[in-house]
Amino acid sequence: MIYIRILHSYAHIYVLTSQLTTKSLTQTKRLWALRRSQSLLDRKITHVLSLVSFNPGNLKNFKDEPFSEYGKPFKHLLIDIDDVEDEDLLIELPKAVKFIDEGLRSERSRHQKSTSSSDVAAAEKAVDRISLDSKESGSSASDSAPPSQTASSDQPPQQSHPRRGAVFVHCAAGKSRSISALIAYLLWRYPDRFTGPAGAQLASTLEGPEADESVAEPVRAALALIKQTRPLAEPNPGFMEQLDLWWQMGCPADGDIETQPIYQRWLYQRAARESIAVGQAPSQLWFEDEQTEKPSDSSSSSSAPTPDRKLRCKKCRRILATAPFIVPHKPRDDNTSTASSCQHFFIEPLSWMRAELEKGELSGRLSCPNTKCGAGVGRYDWKGFPCSCGSREDPAFSLQKARVDEELSRAPLRMPPGRGGNGNL
């Protein structure tokens, strides 16, 4: 049985709160909880995961002992990462997740000091425990507790020997970086706990920006679970986007994340944003139709036939884009007159645009790639532009509706035997 146990700044995967009193505090002084060496020992910490930029060689506890000495009982992993939206969190998640898992599965060394002091006993009484191994997906914290815990709330759950390790996960404020690592771990270790009705119920408790439905429901559900005992948990929007990608990739803690097309696409988009911010077109180009894994607009699990959508040059009928590469485009409001005024089909950058995009311009015209045609079919702008319907795409690659034809076709309907000859309509 594994618990997340949070008391103030601590959890069985203990989450750090480092309150900042003044902006003039040094980096090491901000690591207040990590400097409380006796508290770490009292809570039987075996592993420390630091997601913050600091030099352990400069860190001392409140007894003026260097971390090189008082940190000997702990296995320590330092991940140097800043709490900014475009920081590459994804590349760090596999080792963070595996480190947490290693810590929770490890055995506590026998020489590690324990304590029965009154302050720790009182602390245990206030601990909120959330079971992640309960068979009942909708059970409450008390329902999912083991019998010994339910019988006496004043006593911590009885642990079987050998005693397992505990992991202290911290950043600078216990709000964004450390929470992101915990979400990634929970999604990898307990994926089924955050899907289906149970996940939907958890995710529905979020409010405001955290309830953004563009982020996968399991990611929001994992955040909601942590917020039950850590209300200030709030990964920055960029980290939430990356956690969404982590889920889309299948939480590849054991794989090479650098080879994942989703991760490569994110890297490219980040580099493109950085170039555009300084008034330059991206130096490297990414064409969606050249990737080994292409998105799909259909689902094999759906019984209804899905339209096969194509955009063709009106002049020569050359196919310019197919359904997987047409960007969903929704008018700012549902007003019929506004929607009908939309004059563009927005698409992903495709390989037939290569010659134009390699010019390195921030904006330009798109022409039909058929050398015998060459008709103007649209335009692009790396900085984006608004559509006449009121919405905006950044960056924007558009085909003008007046210059292309939209073609929709459906798969043949299956009929019961005896109708239509062989069962086809």
d(CA 406, CA 55) in angstroms, rounded, equals 59
Please state the three-class secondary structure of 120-136 as a single string: HHHHHHCCEEEECCCCC
Six-digit token pair at 402? 């007046």
Please count the residues of the chain: 425
In 3D space, the residue among 346, 317, 49, 26 whose CA is nearest the CA of residue 178 turns out to be 49
H-type helices in 22-154, by residue range?
27-30, 37-42, 67-70, 93-105, 118-125, 147-151
Answer whether the bond into residue 162 is a cis peptide, omega within 30°: yes
Per the annotation, the verdict on 387 as an active-site residue is no
Report strand pairing: 47-50 vs 167-170. parallel
Q: Which residues lie closer than 8 Å to 58 by C-beta, 6 or more apart?
A: 28
Long-range contacts from 382-388, C-beta under 8 angstroms, 24+ separation: 382/272, 382/275, 382/276, 382/281, 382/282, 383/276, 387/329, 387/331, 387/342, 387/343, 387/344, 387/346, 388/341, 388/342, 388/343, 388/344
Contacts of 256 (CB under 8 A, 6+ apart): none
SS3 letters for 308-347? EEEEEECCCCCEEEEHHHECCCCCCCCCHHHHHCCCEEEE
CA atoms of 279 and 318, how far apart (whole Å) = 33
User: Letter for the amino acid at 254?
Assistant: D
Neighbours of 120 (CB within 10 A): 15
Q: Which residues are catalytic?
A: 171
